[in-house]
Amino acid sequence: MGVIHVTDRAGQRHTLEAIEGWRVMEIIRDWGLPIEGLCGGACECATCHVFVSEEWLDKLYPPTEEEEDQLDTVMTRPNSRLSCQILWTPELDGLEVTLAPTGA
């Protein structure tokens, strides 16, 4: 068991209990934070876009071509990722992400 820290669009930081094998999008959604996840995690909509804190970027698997394709449809920053493509494992205990603005 571990946690992730999520900063919402109002700038408030939430510490959420994470479950191994769940996607970060699912953890955020399960705790009721406003993440759209329109396609349900199929990497087809980019509505679960988050900004990952610099210090965590290298600890994640790099985005697949499929994820890059979806990131093309939003306004990205160098630390943009789709939270449905980040599988939570204990190595990601303490992961820091920020929800991207709606539509971004």
Partner 1 sequence: MTDHIETDVVIIGAGPVGLFAVFELGLLDIKCHLIDILPKVGGQCAELYPEKPIYDIPGFPMVTGQGLVDNLMAQIEPFHPTFHLNEMVESLESIGTPEAPLFRVKTSENGTTFTCKAVIIAAGGGSFQPKKPPIDNIEAYEGTGVYYAVRKMEMFRNKKVLIVGGGDSALDWTVNLQPIAKRLTLLHRRDAFRAAPHTVEKMRSLVASGDMDLHLGQVTSLKGEAPVLEGAVIRKDDGSEFTIDCDVMLPFFGLTMKLGPIADWGLNLHENVIPVDTEKFETNVPGIFAIGDINTYPGKLKLILSGFHEGALAAQKVHRYVYPEKRLLFQYTTSSTSLQKKLGVAA
Pairing, β 2-7 against β 13-18:
antiparallel
Contact 67, 48 (CB under 8 A): no
Can residue 83 be called a binding residue for partner 1 (CB under 8 A)?
no
Q: Which is nearer to partner 1, 45 or 95 (CB)?
A: 45
Can residue 103 be called a binding residue for partner 1 (CB under 8 A)?
yes
Query: b/e per residue, 9-39, with b = 16+ CB within 10 A?
Result: eeeeeeebebeeebbbbbbbbeeebebebee
* Residue 34 C-beta: closest distance to partner 1, Å: 10
Amino acid at 103: G
**Residues 33-72 within binding reach of partner 1 (CB under 8 A):** 38-39, 42, 44-45, 47, 68-69, 71-72
Q: Which is nearer to partner 1, 26 or 95 (CB)?
A: 26
Contact positions vs partner 1 (CB under 8 A): 38-39, 42, 44-45, 47, 68-69, 71-76, 78, 101-104
